[in-house]
């Protein structure tokens, strides 16, 4: 949602804001832009945040505390840091400032998805490992395999990047999620650009530097929906031994809803279906309810979103055709938002067994607002709780069967989480 903000004449109705406006009149053009951006961010939270008590914060006081720093900011990156610090005081996920230009926290190059190395990563014990390698891809050609530890990207060492994320104003429970997303962004770039990775296989092995050239990302791009930008989409289906069906997709977007539905219905009559939500950051929230309708035989509640005024429920209504066999859902610390709504709701309903590691605990519904400086504000507009009254924010979905992703297993080409789900279905 792009909010249409009033002119400064309306803003100056209050004495405090009139003082703000008089300061802007004589400010340098950059300072005026910074102050206007700050104003939009502060007002958006004031007007749309679901908790009118602002988690016990005096939001007017927050304004006064950060205004002088914004007025003194001498570059855009300093402004962003001030805004992130202000948002971080609310102590929740889904608050962020997304730079409109090049930034260390966004992918290098043109746009996300324009170039690729063919790598998907996971975090374990504060270290970054390769989880999947696309074939073909620059990473595959360079001999990088699942289980390889990424120790550095160009001149950025992982230990240093982890330290940078640790001081970000986000809850401790979300730092692994943000760390992984940050590194994945740094692994993006423009086709033809070159990057260097410092990688290592077994802990006892020596590290090596690998030079890679970004290839054009040939994944299909989604259309735009509401305020969500176009994104690369992936959907994978296969049949495992024992007539167990497997479905994985990387994001909840309407572009692939029909394919998700078909994949579920293709499993009709099969003994088991595995839905792999590892690495899936969410997307369109109500798709969780839509999917549920093809997995249940009775009305099933997934949870409730509470806004400042009013609420709505995520409810799956049973469809004429559905999958009725054993259902396993795979999650990890990168599974967030809609992934968590689906997994938690079906877990509480007794419909699915959850495997893997705890999810991100980043489940709050949010909106995107364009800012005067060209950046985008992502901000929370509602809270969420499961049918049993559990608030997932900062906690995440806890698996029924916790399974660690060991580097040694990945290097052997094994997926212990998937294997555990398969064995459970077979045992039923």
Specify which residues 90 forms β-bridges with: none
Q: Are residues 82 and 169 in the same domain?
A: no
Q: How many domains does the chain have?
A: 3
∠ CA 291-292-297, rounded to 5°: 135
Residue 227 has pLDDT above 90, yes or no: no
Task: Report the mean per-residue pLDDT for the chain.
Answer: 85
**What average pLDDT does range 116-143 have in this prediction?**
93
Spatial distance between the Cα atoms of 90 and 394, rounded to a whole number of angstroms: 12
| Structural contact between residues 386 and 344, judged by C-beta atoms closer than 8 angstroms | yes
288 and 399 share a domain? yes
- pLDDT tens, position by position, 234-277: 999 999 999 999 999 999 999 999 999 999 999 999 999 999 99
CATH of the domain at 244: 3.90.226.10
pLDDT (0 to 100) of residue 388: 94
pLDDT of residue 8: 31
80 within some domain: yes
- Measured between alpha carbons, how far is 370 from 134 in angstroms, rounded to an integer? 34
Give pLDDT, residue 226.
62
- Asked if the structure places residue 280 within a domain, the reply is yes
Report the percentage of the chain scoring pLDDT > 90.
57
CA torsion, ordered 170, 172, 176, 179, to nearest 10 deg:
40
Question: Dihedral sign, CA of 37, 42, 44, 47?
Answer: negative
> How are beta strands 272-276 and 326-331 bridged, if at all?
parallel
Residue 264 maps to a domain: yes
Residue (of 265, 230, 232, 231) closest to 247 by Cα position = 265
Answer with the one of 157, 181, 216 that is the final residue of a domain: 216
Strands 376-380 and 366-370: antiparallel
290 within a domain of the structure (yes/no): yes
242 and 319 inside one domain: yes
Q: Is residue 279 part of a domain?
A: yes
CATH number at residue 56: 3.30.750
| pTM of structure | 0.80
Q: Is the pLDDT of residue 346 over 50?
A: yes
Mean of pLDDT values over 224-237: 80
* 299 lies in the same domain as 202: no
The Cα 82–Cα 222 span in angstroms is 33
- In order of 81, 87, 101, 369, 372, the CA distances from 73 in angstroms are 10, 17, 18, 22, 16
Same domain, 395 and 291: yes
Q: Ranked by mean pLDDT, which of 65-79, 85-99, 367-381 comes out on top?
A: 65-79
pLDDT single digits (tens) 136-153 = 999 999 999 999 999 999
pLDDT band at residue 311 under the 50/70/90 scheme: confident
pLDDT for the residue 168:
62
CA distance 233 to 219: 7
Across 277-422, where does the E strand assignment appear? 300-307, 311-316, 326-331, 352-356, 366-370, 376-380, 382-385, 401-402
Q: Does residue 164 lie within any of the structural domains? A: yes
Same domain, 177 and 281: no
Same domain, 260 and 382: yes
Residues 13 and 155 in one domain: no
- pLDDT tens digits for 168-182? 656 666 778 888 888
pLDDT of residue 363: 86
**Which CATH number belongs to the domain containing residue 172 in this structure?**
2.30.42.10
Looking at the structure, tell me whether residues 289 and 384 fall in a common domain: yes
The predicted pLDDT at position 398 comes to 96
> Residue 207 sits in which domain range?
115-216
Asked whether residue 1 is assigned to any structural domain, the reply reads no
Tell me what the mean pLDDT of segment 310-320 comes to.
Answer: 92
Note if the bond before 176 is cis, omega within 30 degrees.
no
Among 41, 75, 90, identify where a domain stops: 90
- The answer on 399 and 273 residing in a single domain is yes
User: Which region, left, alpha or beta, applies to residue 126 given φ > 0 means left and ψ of -120 to 50 means alpha?
Assistant: left
Task: Please indicate, yes or no, whether residues 37 and 129 belong to a single structural domain of this protein.
Answer: no
Work out whether strand 326-331 and strand 352-356 pair parallel, antiparallel, or are unpaired.
Answer: parallel
The reply to whether 210 and 248 lie within a common domain is no
In a domain, 228, yes or no: no
């Amino acid at each position: 949602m792009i909010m249409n903000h009033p002119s400064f004449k309306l803003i100056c109705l209050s004495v405090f804001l009139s003082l703000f406006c008089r300061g802007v009149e004589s400010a340098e053009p950059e300072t005026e832009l910074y102050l206007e951006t700050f104003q939009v961010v502060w007002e958006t939270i004031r007007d749309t945040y679901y908790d009118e008590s602002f988690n016990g914060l005096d939001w007017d006081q927050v304004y006064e505390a950060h205004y002088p720093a914004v007025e003194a900011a001498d570059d855009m990156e300093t402004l962003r840091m001030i805004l992130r610090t202000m948002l971080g005081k609310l102590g929740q996920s889904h608050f962020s400032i997304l730079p409109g230009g090049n930034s260390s926290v966004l992918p290098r190059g043109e746009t996300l998805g324009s170039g690729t190395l063919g790598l998907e990563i996971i975090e374990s014990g504060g270290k970054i490992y390769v989880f999947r390698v696309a074939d073909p891809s620059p990473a595959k050609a360079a001999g990088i395999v699942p289980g390889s530890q990424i120790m550095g990207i160009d001149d950025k060492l992982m230990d240093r990047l982890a330290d940078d994320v640790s001081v970000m104003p986000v809850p401790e429970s979300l730092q692994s999620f943000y760390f992984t997303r940050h590194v994945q962004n740094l692994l993006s770039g423009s086709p033809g650009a070159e990057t260097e990775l410092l990688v290592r296989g077994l802990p006892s092995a020596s590290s090596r530097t690998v030079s890679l050239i970004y290839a054009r990302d040939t994944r299909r791009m989604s259309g735009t929906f509401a305020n969500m930008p176009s994104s690369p989409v992936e959907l994978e289906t296969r049949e495992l031994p024992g007539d167990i069906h497997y479905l994985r997709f990387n994001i909840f977007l309407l572009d692939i809803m029909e394919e998700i539905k078909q994949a579920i219905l293709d499993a009709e009559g099969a003994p088991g279906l595995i839905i792999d939500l590892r690495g899936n950051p969410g997307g369109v929230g109500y798709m969780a309810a839509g999917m549920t309708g093809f997995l249940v035989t009775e009305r099933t509640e997934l949870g409730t979103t509470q806004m400042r005024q009013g609420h709505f429920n995520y409810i799956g209504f049973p469809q004429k055709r559905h999958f009725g066999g054993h259902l396993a859902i795979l999650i990890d610390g990168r599974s967030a938002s809609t992934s968590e709504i689906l997994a938690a709701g079906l877990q509480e309903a007794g419909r699915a067994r959850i495997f893997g590691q705890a999810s991100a605990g980043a489940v709050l519904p949010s909106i995107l607002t364009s800012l005067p400086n060209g950046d985008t504000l992502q901000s929370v507009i509602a809270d969420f709780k499961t049918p049993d009254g559990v608030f997932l924010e900062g906690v995440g979905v806890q698996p029924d069967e916790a399974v660690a992703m060991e580097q040694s297993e990945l290097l052997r080409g094994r997926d212990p989480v998937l294997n555990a789900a398969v064995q459970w279905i077979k045992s039923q």
